[in-house]
């Protein structure tokens, strides 16, 4: 009888421990897309940072047409690290922002910078007031891109409205924390926080 009770207690303890680890883990190792609610803030465009942005020139990709009237579309601190310790991470701030509409409540926002040989940045897919983020880096934009497992650790997005049409202005504020795992099992961590505005195309 004592052996039976000991076995039962051990089994329950083991199962509880496994469940606790599962609940406490915020890493989605199955690489399922994580969709998070968008927070709609109607007067987001009244934030003073947008006044600053309209007085700064746009950061253009090397292949973009030179437009001296274009205004800054994104201000973001984008960190890249090979570990969760970001104290020695690489920080980048040189990006522009574009937004493409698929349906009134579905669009893709691309924060990136491209030159002749590489592209890096962040994709934000928005669908029915939910969104997901995926950082990327391509060492050669002309070659096949390596498939990467992207795991969302945390993400927050605020937009000025829920539905858009072509020609609308979109204003947003973003925070993301993501890890990418390559085919070679190399892990890269990305973290960033910033503000963007652009025209819907």
Q: How far is CA 182 from the centre of its chain?
A: 17
What is the side-by-side order of every strand in the sheet holding 119-127? 36-37, 130-138, 119-127, 106-114, 96-103
Q: Does 45 score more than 80 pLDDT?
A: yes
Return the pLDDT at 114. 84
Supply the pTM of this predicted model.
Answer: 0.78
In angstroms, the CA 164 to CA 171 distance is 11
Do 157 and 131 touch, CB atoms closer than 8 A? Answer: yes
Q: Per-residue pLDDT tens for 58-73? A: 998 876 677 778 899 9
Element (H, E) at 134: strand 130-138
Q: Sign of dihedral through CA atoms 49, 76, 120, 122?
A: negative
Q: Does 157 score more than 60 pLDDT?
A: yes
List all residues 6 or more positions away from 81 whose beta carbon is below 8 Å from its beta carbon: 88, 89, 90, 188, 189, 190, 191
Average pLDDT along the chain: 82
Q: 29: pLDDT confidence band, cut at 50, 70 and 90?
A: very low
Return the pLDDT at 12. 44
Tokens standing for residue 98: 């574009």
Q: Please name which of 133, 136, 138 lies closest in space to residue 172, comparing C-alpha atoms.
A: 133
Show the domains of the chain with their CATH numbers.
36-199 (2.40.128)
């Amino acid at each position: 009888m004592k052996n039976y009770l000991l076995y039962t207690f051990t089994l329950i303890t083991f199962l509880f421990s496994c469940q606790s680890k599962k609940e406490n883990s915020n890493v989605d190792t199955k690489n399922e897309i994580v969709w998070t609610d968008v927070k709609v803030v109607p007067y987001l465009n009244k934030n003073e940072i947008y006044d600053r942005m309209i007085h700064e020139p746009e950061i253009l990709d090397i292949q973009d047409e030179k437009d001296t009237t274009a205004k800054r579309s994104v201000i973001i601190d984008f960190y890249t690290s090979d570990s969760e310790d970001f104290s020695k991470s690489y920080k980048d701030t040189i990006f522009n922002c574009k937004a493409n509409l698929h349906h009134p409540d579905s669009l893709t926002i691309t924060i990136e910078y491209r030159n002749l040989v590489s592209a890096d940045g962040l994709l934000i897919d928005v669908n029915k007031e939910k969104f997901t983020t995926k950082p990327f880096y391509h060492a050669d934009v002309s070659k096949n891109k390596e498939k990467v497992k992207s795991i969302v650790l945390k993400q927050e997005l605020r937009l000025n409205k829920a539905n858009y049409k072509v020609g609308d202005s979109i204003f947003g504020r973003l925070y993301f924390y993501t890890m990418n795992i390559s085919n070679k099992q190399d892990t890269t961590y990305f973290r960033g926080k910033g503000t963007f505005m652009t025209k819907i195309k």
